[in-house]
Chain A
Amino acid sequence: MDSLEKRANLANTSAEDGSAAAQGTASLDRREFLGLAAAGLAAAGLGAVALGLEACKSPQSIAASDWVNVGVIGVGSRAQHMMQMLLRVPGVRITGLCDIYPPRLDEGRKVTGQQTTGYADYRKMLEAKDVDAVMVSTPLGLHAEHVIASLESGRPVYGEKSMGRTLDDCNRIREAARRTGKMLQVGLQYTYAPWYVEALNQIRKGNIGQVTQVNSYWHRNNNWRRPVPKGASADLEHLLNWRLYKQWSGGLFAELGSHQINFANTIFGAMPESVMASGGIDFWKDGREIEDNVHAILRYPGGQTLQGSFITTNRLEGAQERIYGTGGSIELTHTDATYYAEPWYPGSAIPPEIQIQHKLVTGPTYSAEQPYHGKGKMPIQGSASDADLASVGAFVDCIRNHKRPLADENAGWSQSVTVALCNRAMKLGSKLTLQEFLASENPAEV
Chain B
Amino acid sequence: MTLNEISPHLVSLQAAPFRVHRHRAMGTEFCLYLEALDQEHAEANERACFQAVFEEIDRVEAAFSRFRASSEISRLNRQAALGPVVTDPEVFRILAETQSIWLKTGGAFDIALGRLSRAWGFAERAPHVPEPEAIAEALSASGMALVALDAEWRTVQFLQPGVELDLGAFAKGYAVDCALEQLRAAGVAGVIDAGHSSIAAVGEPFESQWLIEVRLPPLEEPQDWSDPLSADCAADRVLSAVPLHGRAMASSGIMEQKFEQGGQTFSHLLDARIAPSIAPRLDRGIAPSVNPRKPGSDPARLMLQTTVLAPTSATADALSTALFILGPEEGSAVLSNFENACALWVYQDAAGIGWQHRNWPGEISGLNEGNCSSAFHPQ
Interface residues of A (CB under 8 A from B): 53, 55-60, 81, 83-85, 87-90, 103, 111-114, 222-223, 225-230, 286, 335, 383-386, 389
Contacts and interface: CB of A to CB of B under 8 A. Distances in A.
Given A55-B75, A58-B84, A386-B70, 5 more contacts: A59-B84, A111-B90, A114-B89, A226-B48, A228-B186
B185 A87 contact: no
Interface string B215-241: 000000000000000000000000000
Given A227-B45, A228-B48, A384 B90 contact: no
B70 A56 contact: no
Given A58-B84, A113-B93, A385-B70, A229 B155 contact: no
A223 B90 contact: no
Interface in B88-123: 88-93
Interface centre among B48, B74, B91, B153 (most CB of A within 10 A): B48
B368 interface: no
A53 B82 contact: yes
Nearest to B49: A227
Contacts of B188: 227
B51 A384 contact: no
Given A87-B88, A223-B51, A229-B186, A56 B45 contact: no
5 smallest CB-CB distances across A and B, nearest first, come from A113-B89, A227-B186, A56-B83, A84-B88, A87-B88
A229 B51 contact: no
A385 B78 CA distance: 11
Given A222-B51, A229-B187, A55 B86 contact: yes
A225 B49 CA distance: 9
Given A84-B90, A88-B72, A225 B48 contact: yes
A16 to B, nearest CB: 8
Interface in B50-92: 51-52, 59, 63, 69-70, 72, 74-75, 78-79, 82-92
| A interface SS class | loop
Contact of B41 (A60, A111, A230): A230
A371 B198 CA distance: 43
B208 interface: no
B182 interface: yes
B1 interface: no
B47 interface: yes
A51 to B, nearest CB: 8
A79 B86 CA distance: 19
A56 B82 contact: yes
Nearest to A92: B86
A56 B84 contact: yes
B181 to A, nearest CB: 9
Contacts of B126: none
A58 B88 contact: no
B24 to A, nearest CB: 13
A84 B62 CA distance: 13
Given A227-B49, A227-B52, A59 B86 contact: yes
A229 B180 CA distance: 15
Contacts of A90: 86
29 contacts: A55-B79, A55-B86, A56-B84, A57-B83, A58-B155, A59-B86, A60-B153, A81-B59, A84-B90, A87-B87, A87-B88, A87-B89, A88-B72, A88-B87, A88-B91, A112-B89, A114-B89, A222-B47, A223-B48, A223-B51, A225-B47, A225-B48, A227-B188, A228-B45, A228-B186, A230-B187, A286-B44, A383-B70, A389-B75
Given A227-B185, A384-B69, A384-B70, A59 B52 contact: no
Contacts of A89: 86
Contact of B88 (A85, A225, A226, A385): A85
Nearest to B37: A230
B96 to A, nearest CB: 11
Interface string B136-162: 000000000000000001110000000
Contact of B85 (A56, A103, A114): A56
B204 to A, nearest CB: 14
Contacts of A85: 88
A114 to B, nearest CB: 8
A384 B75 CA distance: 8
A88 to B, nearest CB: 5
B86 A225 contact: no
A107 to B, nearest CB: 9
A373 to B, nearest CB: 23
B89 A111 contact: yes
Contacts of A223: 44, 47-48, 51
A58 B89 contact: no
Nearest to A112: B89
B67 to A, nearest CB: 11
Nearest to A90: B86
Interface centre among B52, B74, B86, B93 (most CB of A within 10 A): B86
B70 A335 contact: yes
